[in-house]
Amino acid sequence: MTEASDALPDRRVVVTALGVTQIIAWGSTFYLLAVLAPYIARDTGWAYDRVIAGVSVGLLVAGIVSPRVGRFIATHGGRPVLAISALLLAAGLAALGLAPNFPLYLAAWAVVGLGMGAGLYDAAFSTLGNIYGSQARGTITSVTLFGGFASTVCWPLSAYLVQAFGWREACFVYAAIQIAVALPLHLLALPRGRARSGADAAAGRAPVRLQRGEHAGFAILSIVITIGAAILSTVGTHLLPLLQARGLELAAAVALGTIVGPAQVGARVVEMFAGRHYHPVWTMIASAVLVAISAVMLFTGFPIVALAIVLYGAGNGIGSVARGTVPLALFGAERYPVLMGRLALPLLVAMAVSPYLGGLAFQQGGADATLGMLAALALTNVLLVFALWFMVLKKQTSR
């Protein structure tokens, strides 16, 4: 850190603070429209796919700013970035609740997107890598344990708020939570400046380049993470409408949707205790396989929907861990914040586009078209992640 003490900040404090703020950040942005979109469409008269386009705008803006966010964290630390993210999210959510027309609705989502780019997993992971260096794997996994409860906590909260008060009031409540909870946690729990030496800081300002032989692995990793994010974005936005299209009432769909959180957390707990014994790429392989099995089950109409949801939640849960730990293992701690920012760009662009494309597929072809698209993407990712594993294996045997 910039202070005289070389002691690293207490992991329990940092992980708990970031874990709570990740629940709030994901629940009030990415998962928001899963509950609110039908109410917004009904209240305003805007088409469902146009309402969903709001989160696409937010994610696109987040992707655009992510490389700059990564570079800033590499040189200045994550505290100011994450604090600003809470302010931006609060401002965007308040503007969303006030939006009188569709252009201003999209403009509000653009402000939310700035907060997402500075405050979701990629910024949190970069902050942890900046603080703890090569020791950050455990803290990354622990933060994702909290983040896994975002839909479990916020979908029922959003359902209560929208039914009791309305969708605009729900946005105001989430804006207040950002100011009253997330902002103080970021300011009080995170260390000032960087947690490394001045020499390292100078290195962080230097251009970060991939070495010879690393480009192919980085490209495949980027594609794998991007496809996984596209699946996450589509399911996170459309899971409840897809389940309702299968004949379930909203209450039953919400109940099944809340299974995702515990399944994510359960899988992450297993990874936290077992992950130290194997390379993180195996976590990524397990994630891709579980998500693919789940997608095929949902597409083919497997009768036990809850089992498919559990498998998806488990796969997505450890996928978030792999997204943070595989780049750290492959490319090292010094380049980690900057490379995470680069990986976040295509990832968040895919997350921006996929909800809208999923909405179009759902509107034009129903649940079958949307689930078929997800199954194809998931199976493609299985092939790619095994290709990445072969590259890692080849690199290890050549040493």
CB 248 within 8 A of CB 293: no
The pLDDT tens digits of the residues spanning 242-267 come to 888 877 777 888 888 878 878 888 88
Angle between helices 79-98 and 11-27 (to 10 degrees): 20
pLDDT of residue 204: 47
Q: Which of 33-47, 107-121, 129-143, 275-289 has the lowest mean pLDDT?
A: 129-143
pLDDT digits (tens, 9 = 90+) for 102-133: 999 999 999 999 999 999 988 998 898 888 88
- pLDDT tier, 292 (very low <50, low <70, confident <90, very high otherwise): very high
**pLDDT digit string (tens) for 192-235?**
765 554 434 444 455 567 777 778 888 999 999 999 988 988 88
How far is the C-alpha of 301 from the C-alpha of 286, rounded, in Å?
23
| Residue 182, number of CB atoms within 10 A of its CB | 27
pLDDT tens, residue by residue, 79-90: 899 999 999 999
pLDDT at 195: 54
Helix H or strand E encompassing 23 = helix 11-27
Report which residue type is found at 4: A
User: Which of these ranges, 8-22, 102-116, 179-193, 336-350, has the smallest mean pLDDT?
Assistant: 336-350
Please report the pLDDT score of residue 197 as a whole number: 42
pLDDT recorded at residue 171: 97
Q: What pLDDT sits at residue 208? A: 66
**Domains along the chain with CATH numbers:** 11-397 (1.20.1250.20)
Write b or e for each residue in 151-163: b if 16 or more Cβ atoms lie within 10 A of its Cβ, otherwise e.
Answer: bbbbbebbbebbe
392 phi and psi angles, rounded to 5 deg: -65, -45
Average pLDDT, the chain: 85
Q: For position 142, what pLDDT does the model report? A: 86
For residues 52 and 155, give the distance between their C-alpha atoms in angstroms, rounded to a whole number: 16
